[in-house]
Structure 1
């Protein structure tokens, strides 16, 4: 695996509101936060661009709504913002894809000559997956370190229920098998980026 000198790290929705288990239900991958922190540290140390994405929910009961403490980034992310040697961007959005946020992520990437990005964060099968799919559709080389993401159990149509780990695996298979992105491990990405 090769990580470009200007490959971006896109940190999606690592917000306090996702710690409210009574709202979201059971999650998977308790090690995700440590892996996300490690990726941010290496990206900042190597001067690569880091994009922090925040979901500003328009739903009045959402733990991610603006003005509520859950909208804030988790402490370990907030402590790292502004600390890197490379460029940094804050994107806010109200939908799943970071490419439909403000400012325009695609335009920022193009202006910086970014052609490869790593996407990490919450939720695996929602905003991480949608951002990865759009990135692939837009022609970027996208890497998803699956163990630096997490999600929650979900109920769908016909009473079907998938637990968080099943959803993460389904996302990995769809992204990798569908060639939207390469699904990898955090360790592989860190080793290539150092």
Structure 2
């Protein structure tokens, strides 16, 4: 199996002379609907997202807010509903890029790749939800497009997953395994503290 490790990882401290962007994925009010999703892991995610945003808003690169507008009936991410709104902790400010997607990858059906290239961005720090779904899909896609990627593990969160036979993996297991798979080929896995201290 081909690995993207050689060119798709963002190593902390490498981005000072290249374009970098913080990308926050699907952090909308929908994620608080526990009746739909169940309980998530990482209750500290919002605090870490605020810390990352404060760092980037201090002049350390571009900020991209990705939102999901679902086409699935009954989804709390359906446009026009309360759940489709950004959470307060990541509310975009003037001048920050907002990308609207309808599938898991932020690159499908959007102008995200062209926008990043136009602004000289080759390195991404990705955070958000869900680690096993939109975050993982977007990170894999970014790696395949030859962007260097770091995932802020403690600024992401997952939900429990069940298979067709009824076996269930709790949210923390799903989160940990998803990060382990990404770390093997598509991204460096880091923490908010290390990114802010060493980026």
CA distances 1:150-180 after superposition (whole Å, capped 9, x unpaired):
0111112322211110011111110001x20
CA-based RMSD of the aligned residues comes to 1.3
Which residue of the partner structure matches residue 23 of structure 1?
36
Q: Which residue of 2 aligns with 1:100?
A: 108
- Residue 3 of structure 1 contacts residue 192 of structure 1 at CA under 8 Å; is this kept in 2? no
1:187 corresponding residue in structure 2: 193
Point out where structure 2 has 5 or more consecutive residues left out of the alignment: 1-11
Q: What is the match of residue 173 of structure 1?
A: 180
Is the Cα contact below 8 Å between 2:139 and 2:187 reproduced in 1? Answer: yes
- Matches of 1:183 and 1:22 in 2, distance apart? 30
Tell me the matched-pair count. Answer: 186
Residue 60 (structure 1) aligned to one of 62, 73, 83: 73
Q: Secondary structure at the match of 1:118?
A: strand
CA–CA distance in 2 between the matches of 1:147 and 1:18? Answer: 16
Please, which of 143, 150, 165 is the counterpart of residue 157 of structure 2? 150
Does residue 1:111 correspond to 2:118, yes or no? yes
SS of the aligned residue for 2:165 comes to helix
State how far apart, in whole Å, the 2-side matches of 1:35 and 1:167 are: 20
TM-score by length of 2: 0.89
Matched, 1:72 2:85: yes
Counterpart secondary structure, 1:27? coil
1:22: how far off? 1.0
Number of the residue aligned with 2:46 = 33
- Partner Cα separation in structure 2 for residue 41 and residue 64 of structure 1: 26
Greater relative contact order (Cα < 8 A, sep 6+): 2
Contact 1:91 1:101 in 2 (8 A): no
SS at match of 2:150: strand
- Pairing of 1:117-128 with structure 2 (within 5 A): 117-128=124-135
Q: What is the TM-score when the length of structure 1 is the normalising length?
A: 0.92
How far apart are the structure 2 equivalents of 1:54 and 1:149? Answer: 15
The residue matched to 1:121 in structure 2 has which SS? strand
Superposed CA deviations along residues 95-136 of structure 1, whole A, max 9, x for unmatched, are 00111143x111111111111000001111100111111111
